[in-house]
Structure 1
Amino acid sequence: MKSGIIKTYIMISCVLAGSLFSACNKFLDTKPEDFVTPENYFNTEADLDRALNGVYNRLIDNWGRMYSRGLFSYLNISDEFFYKNVSVNNLRVLDFDAGQLDVGKLWEVAYQGIDRANLLLENVNKPRMDETKRNAIKGQALFLRAYFYFVLVDNFGGVPLKLSSTTSPTAPNLPRSSVAQVYAAIVEDMKAAEPLVSDISAYTNNERVTTTVVQAMLARVYLTMAGEPLKDVSKYTDALSYADKVINSGKHSLNPSYSNIFINHSKDINEPQECLWEIGMYGNQQGTAQLAGGVGIENGVECPDDNIGYSGGAVHPTARLFNLFEAADQRRDWAIAPYRYINAGGTITKTAFTPAQIYERTAGKWRREYETQVPKNRLYNSTNFPVIRYADVLLMKAEAENALNGPVAAAYEAVNQVRRRGYGKPVHAADPAADLPAGLGAVDFLSHLQDERARELCFEGMRKHDLIRWGLYVSKMQSLATEVSSSAPAAWKYAGSAAKNTTVRNVLFPIPNTEITINRLITQNPGW
């Protein structure tokens, strides 16, 4: 967004010790004055801010492997969507191997972010500056290092735990740490960050990591630890505690309109009440700013017109997702586009789908027609991506409450607030048309909650993560393959291709071949 803090960034470069050039001619011994090194950098508050921006920058990644595209689309294949006209030999249908470029780049970009955070943390105490501001920078760097590790452990399992910056190309390789060890480091960093970062009120946007962001993400981390593969059920208590911290802070609330959340993203409007943390995109990759994203392009309303906002409409919902919604649930026809734009004899026409055209529909949360930045680029825009929303916090609270205490009133109320908003009702008033049925047992309540997370958070990169931690990913994908084969129209049978290719190995990505080749201490994930 135009109001974002990630406008410029630098690559902090490291050099080897002076002995590297000890045998060279004397003119090479002259100390360079225009080369960025830890010795001649990190001397001012502005230096620290620029270095921090460089850490945030890795969450965008101009090649689309992080939140500009990959982490909510082709790197998160689940039972909620499929790709149009892709059926074989592609990551998008889970037909790939350990040499797949995008998987390797995800690993690489995450470690770039970790290394930048490590370097900043090693130098954060150098400048003379206000200690509150220094703490805020340190806290954000700690959190971001932990978050990059969360992305890695979630996708690859145990990974090398590197907590110092790279100073030499001959530094020894590291073996994989266990999943438990990686999560312990994540929790340690995030808990250390919590008292250091600033309150959301210190900023005019939600693109910085703040107190409630750390708390919400700790709730997500602990809820994940309570599920597969660790199954440490004691962490439900921590998940509930941190979700309650966010709720009780009074800093956040549900936007009364579900659609306006995503319209605001497209219009470059920050709305920190619902969206705790957004990845800030900027520009459209035209000109000097290279920090644009692709939210609403690959996963947008099909449209051939550049002025409205081009999208090939690649991401299509499964019938399973569509049928999870009741007709009165207003989220369905926003999350899943009820129309597309077609070129009819040179005229661009908005054409509604018929009730039978479920497979033809596309993702619809972010609609390029609302974008205000012109000219519009076919491949890039400034639409922010929400990493965590208040609705997610409420649903996490409900899940943790149910796991600890059963479907008590607090668990019901948390889910029902989300449902009432989805049905266009006041969120704090009981409404039988929207609320869950009373008297559910813990198992049935969890089942309803799992469906509710699919409805509320579809296309936001959460479904695969949720299914894996619930231990349901493989079974849900395999049952989807059967559903598509038996009920999809003939022209859309390929919609089950990814599901048919799913086996136990797909719970994790392979360790990239590039890493296996250079690091003899690392082992490959099972099945790859």
Structure 2
Amino acid sequence: MKLKIKYITIIALGALALTPLACKKSFLTQTNSFQSTEDATFQKSSDVVALVNAIYDTYQNSDLLKKSIWYYANFMTHDWFNYGNDIIWNYYAIPADFYALPSFWNNAYIGIARANSAFGIIETAKEKGIVTPELAQRLTGEAYFLRGMTYYYLAGSFGGVPLELNSVTNGLTPRSSQDSVFMQVVSDMQQAASLLPWKEDMGAENLGRATKGAALGYEGAARMWLKDYAGAMENFNELDGKYHLLSNFVDVHEFDHQNSDESLFEIQFDVSGSQSWDGGWQAGGEVAWIDDFSWPEEVSNFGYDYGNPALWLSYQPGDKRKLATIVGPGDSLISPGIVARGGIRGYPLVQSGFAAGDQRYIGSDGKIINTCGTVERPWYGLSDQKRSGYYCSKKWRDPTLTGNSGNQVIFGSQNQIMLRYAEILLDRAECKVRTGDIAGAMADIKMVRDRAWGGTAPEVMQDGARYDGSPAQPITDPLQMVLSEYRHELTGEYSLFYNLRRAGADVAAEFIHDAYGTVAGSINPIPNPAPGPTHDGQPHGIFNNALPPGRELLPIPQEAIGLNPNLTQNPGY
């Protein structure tokens, strides 16, 4: 059994021969002609580039991105819930033998193995003149960045994990401490930042590859886990003038604003062949099911995640992020790309449902519906009534998709933003709070909030309402102000619970309790406690279990422990 891990590097390299290695739009399109030995394989510059492209390819995996990182970042907060086979996320009951955990763990370590193999191969190729010193430097920097980013998400999700830093391993490495892993992230990102160019110095053909700015951003974030707030601020300060907030928040996730000036790093996707069930997604194609699986079942025939109405309530009046993040009964989509394709009424299921006289597709005005359900008839799902009626509009931006209806354009090419400048500003604000510079923290928060209001945000920060609809009180504690902005700026992306846990497990649990009135041991759905269109006394998929001690971490996969007896399980599992 141990041989399966012992030769993971060989398996990872061998996999290069089986799949085209592409990673969006123009870069990562070379095909690697892997043969039997390293010398026979890496004889051309394009072969070496393809080797590094394979590390990027690790992340072009919906199970790794959505079912692992996104689920953890969002379901753990109760801002969003799962519908379907993974409902146990909704009440923190993930077991060690949960089927999705090995996908996270194995894909991550395959990417790490690819990076570890790349270092020596790139150096040899440089010595032989196969790649130029300049290209070797950049590719080495990318490998360090991708390895460091992978360890960032592993440590953020599992705590301490094995640190595999060599191209050959016996697969029996024990777990290092969480701090040791984040120290390695800092080291990898320092190496990457010293080798990589700034984004503006990358040619258009390399747009989407790792950059110096992305490395500095992750280095600073890792330093925050280590409570090195001064060091993190130094990293973040280097990004001033290199990245900018987009003028309109809605544009951040727009399909035609990918790789924008606000984005530090995105996972790249691209269309190649069919976007339906028969497409190349099953054979390494660079499309993903990430986005339209979040749409209402009434539109997509999916609806596998949905929002908490209390998140919708929590946005302060005038905050333009609200409908660009979450929509509910009676709300129209405000995405310019979706509006241009006809809005909600432009989808095949909506059109056929209206034509058949289905009341769910008739708007309050008697015409074909163009809102996410109506106040009178919320969209709880076609198959049952177990969704909340609220959905993530950040994931509703690709105008080419139809969901599992019509001509079934399901698998999309929307990039996934992993880190952007607004998060850097909020991270820096937290660092300033931690080091006593409250005025500086408020200045950074103000930049983010002013953009959210499209002008000048109110001086007083407070939620629009509490989870039960009662009036919210002003937020005056500086750290709580940062946490609130993390939530309202970053929910539905890939960071929120990581940032809450980084602030402290007890801080995260208390923040979620205050936001949702959580109750220990509550594992069944509850009716929406707040007055409004879904306040009907019926349980529509809202959960309010308190975060149990120890459950802020995921369990180490039982499969991994079975292969490596030196691994220990996290407490509480």
Range class of TM-score, shorter chain: 0.7 to 0.9
Q: Distance in 2 between matches of 1:11 and 1:478?
A: 54
- Tell me the distance in 2 between the aligned counterparts of 1:370 and 1:482: 37
The corresponding residue for 1:32 is: none
Alignment partner of 2:438 out of 393, 407, 416:
407
Pair 1:344 & 2:354 matched:
yes
Q: 1:326-379 deviations in whole A, cap 9, x for unaligned?
A: 121111011112246643234763235567969412110132562389997454
In the other structure, the counterpart of 2:158 is: 156
Residue 123 of structure 2 corresponds to: 125
Equivalence for 2:219: 218
Kept in 2: contact 1:51–1:120 (CA 8 A): yes
Per-residue CA deviation, residues 396-415 of structure 1 (Å, 9 max, x unaligned), is 1111112113312x322211
Name the SS of the counterpart of 1:277 in structure 2: strand
Moved more, 485-494 or 332-341: 485-494
1:419 aligns with 2:449: yes
1:191 aligned residue: 190
The residue that corresponds to 2:391 in the other structure is 362
Q: 1:411 to 1:177 in 2, by over 3 A?
A: same
**Contact 2:27 / 2:207 at 8 angstroms: preserved in 1?**
no
For the pair 1:241 / 2:241, whether they are aligned, the reply is: no
- CA distance, structure 2, for counterparts of residue 457 and residue 513 of structure 1: 31
Q: 2:87 and 2:393 mapped to 1: Cα distance?
A: 27
Deviates more, 1:327-336 or 1:280-289: 280-289
Per the alignment, residue 104 of structure 1 pairs with 102
The answer to whether 1:173 aligns with 2:172 is yes
Contact 2:141 2:195 in 1 (8 A): yes
Deviates more, 1:311-320 or 1:105-114: 311-320
Asked if 1:41 corresponds to 2:36, the answer is no
Query: Contact conserved, 1:420 with 1:435, CA < 8 A, in 2?
Result: no
1:505 is matched with which residue? Answer: 550
Equivalent residue letter for 1:240: M
After superposition, the Cα gap between the structure-2 partners of 1:371 and 1:424, relative to the gap in structure 1 and judged at 3 Å, is farther
- Give the one of 323, 334, 342 matched to 2:313: 323
Q: Is the 8 A contact 1:139 1:194 kept in 2?
A: yes
- AA matched with 1:454: R
Q: How far apart are residue 117 of structure 1 and its match?
A: 0.3
User: Which secondary structure state, in structure 1, belongs to the residue aligned with residue 41 of structure 2?
Assistant: coil
| DSSP-derived class of the 1:508 partner | coil
Q: Distance in 2 between matches of 1:444 and 1:91?
A: 30
Counterpart for residue 147 of structure 1 = 149
Task: Report how far residue 323 of structure 1 moved.
Answer: 2.4
For the 8 Å contact 1:159–1:176, the answer to whether it is kept is yes
Structure 1 match to 2:244: 253
| Cα distance in 2, alignment partners of residues 251 and 181 from structure 1 | 30
Q: Per-residue deviation at 1:295? A: 3.6
Secondary structure in 2 matching 1:475: helix
Query: Equivalent of 1:396, from 416, 423, 427?
Result: 427
1:345 counterpart letter in structure 2: A
Equivalenced residue count is 473
Q: Percent identity?
A: 22
Give the letter aligned to residue 224 of structure 2.
L
Gaps of 5+ in 1: 13-34, 227-234, 426-430
Counterpart residue type for residue 242 of structure 1:
N
273-282 vs 441-450, which deviates more? 441-450
1:454 and 2:487 aligned = yes
Structure 2 counterpart of 1:280, from 258, 265, 268: 268
Query: 2:417 is matched by which residue type in structure 1?
Result: P
1:149 maps to amino acid = Y
Partner residue in 2 for 1:53: 53
Q: 2:84 and 2:66 mapped to 1: Cα distance? A: 21
How far the C-alpha of 1:160 sits from its partner, in A, is 1.0
User: Paired residue for 1:15?
Assistant: none
> Contact conserved, 1:477 with 1:500, CA < 8 A, in 2?
no
Distance 1:362 1:373, change over 3 A: closer
* Corresponding position of 2:199: 200
Distance of aligned partners of 1:99 and 1:278 in 2 relative to their CA distance in 1, 3 Å threshold:
same
Give me the TM-score of the superposition, normalised by structure 1. Answer: 0.81
DSSP 3-state at the match of 2:369? strand
Tell me, what secondary structure is at the counterpart of 2:317? coil
- Aligned CA RMSD, in angstroms, stands at 3.1
Equivalent in the alignment of 1:25 = none
Change (3 A) 1:333 1:139: same
Q: Which letter maps to 1:371?
A: T
Give the secondary-structure state (helix, strand or coil) at the position aligned to 1:66: helix
Moved more, 412-421 or 367-376: 367-376
Q: How far does residue 3 in structure 1 lie from its aligned partner after superposition?
A: 1.8
For 1:355 and 1:371, the matched residues in 2 are separated by 28
